[in-house]
């Protein structure tokens, strides 16, 4: 059953790492996923979701004017299409979604019965909600606060002990 999920936290809490691990779990079981990230986030390069511990995957991007419902609908296979259907949508940097784009994601969940997992910040540096996060907090079927924080060793690698 499709649901809209919002995994939120503060900076440096490992959201992208959790997203990539969840996406990998789907892929490992032979299911396709659709990865989506904000075009303006170029830290890992264009159309990439990456974690600070070195994991990365290619993704599609969205901008302020993107109609995400249309983007997902066009990519999703319907009966008779030659495309394979994806089992889950993962959205990184969800705080950059507009209110309208969150509603588009909710519509996609309802009409296609595909879960959408959004990962992002809840508030900005002033403690104010991002518009996308605010709408996700209102509409998401499930909310999960990410509490993992990566600790770095002196050489910059992720500390494992």
- Pick the most confident of 22-26, 142-146, 154-158: 22-26
DSSP state of 95: G
**Which residues, listed in sequence order, are joined to residue 91 by a DSSP beta bridge?**
36, 118
- Dihedral sign from CA coordinates of 131, 137, 141, 145: positive
What pTM does this model have? 0.83
Q: Where are the alpha helices (DSSP H) in 13-157?
A: 15-28, 68-75, 99-112, 131-139
Query: Mean of the pLDDT values across residues 43-62?
Result: 83
What pLDDT, in 10s, does the model give residues 119-147? 999 988 888 999 999 999 999 988 988 65
Three-state secondary structure call for residue 79: coil
What pLDDT, in 10s, does the model give residues 78-117? 655 666 689 999 999 999 999 999 999 999 999 999 999 9
DSSP state of 146: -
Q: Which overall architecture, per CATH, does domain 4-145 show?
A: 3-Layer(aba) Sandwich (3.40)
Residues with a known catalytic role: 93
Where do the structural domains in the chain lie, given as residue ranges? 4-145
């Amino acid at each position: 059953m499709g649901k809209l999920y919002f995994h939120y936290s503060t900076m440096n809490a490992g959201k992208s790492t959790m997203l990539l691990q969840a996406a990998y779990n789907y892929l490992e079981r032979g299911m396709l996923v659709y990865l989506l990230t904000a075009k303006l986030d170029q830290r890992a390069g264009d159309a990439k979701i990456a974690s600070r511990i070195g994991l990365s995957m290619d993704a599609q991007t969205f901008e302020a004017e993107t109609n995400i419902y249309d983007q997902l609908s066009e990519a999703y296979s319907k009966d008779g299409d030659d495309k394979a259907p994806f089992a889950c949508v993962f959205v990184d940097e969800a705080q950059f979604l507009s209110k309208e784009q969150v509603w588009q994601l909710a519509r996609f969940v309802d009409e296609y019965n595909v879960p959408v997992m959004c990962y992002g910040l809840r508030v900005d540096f002033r403690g104010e909600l991002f518009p996308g996060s605010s709408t996700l907090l209102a509409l998401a079927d499930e909310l999960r606060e990410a509490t993992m924080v990566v600790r770095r060793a002196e050489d910059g690698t992720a500390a494992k002990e």
